[in-house]
Amino acid sequence: MTKRRARPKTVAEYIAGAAPKARPMLRLIRRAVRAAAPRAEERVSYGMPYYTYHGRLAYFAAFREHVSFFFMGSPALRTRFAASVARYRTSKATLRFPLGTRVPVALIAKLVKARVKENEARS
């Protein structure tokens, strides 16, 4: 019987437990989100890093071959950024970055800032 790894309780624990190739990418995403939304609360939800500020902002996670960024937002927000995210998009709100590739930090920051504005307007 194999020992099951405990779920991380913090984002730092999540990143530390990720594959070595994913860690630098996860750190970049974390920094981009925190810089774009300094008042956001950092949590772990569904076993992955999650940010909230007047509602959900974004999640990110490491997988075997890639790192994903899951941005929340209205259909209007997704449409507004459709061209910018097209090369990374794998579903409605999921961006995928193969391990070892460049993380589009500026794009992530723009998405998060736009979502912050959207959430503030709703509050």
What was the pLDDT predicted at 66? 97
What confidence category does residue 34 fall into, taking pLDDT thresholds of 50, 70 and 90? very high
For the chain, the farthest-separated pair of C-alpha atoms sits apart, in whole angstroms, at 51
- Structural element, H or E, at residue 89: strand 89-91
Residues 6 or more apart whose CB falls under 8 angstroms from that of 65 comprise 98, 99
Element (H, E) at 30: helix 23-36
Consecutive H or E run containing 41: strand 41-45
**Rounded to 10 degrees, what is the CA torsion of 106, 119, 95, 47?**
110
Taking the model in full, what pTM does it have? 0.92
pLDDT band at residue 3 under the 50/70/90 scheme: low
More confident residue, 80 or 3: 80
Whether the pLDDT of residue 82 is over 70: the answer is: yes
Indicate the average pLDDT of the chain.
94
The pLDDT tens digits of the residues spanning 87-107 come to 998 888 899 999 999 999 999
Whether 23 has a pLDDT exceeding 60, the answer reads: yes
**pLDDT value, residue 5:** 66
pLDDT band at 4 (very low <50, low <70, confident <90, very high): low
With beta carbons less than 8 A apart as the criterion, state whether 113 and 58 touch: no
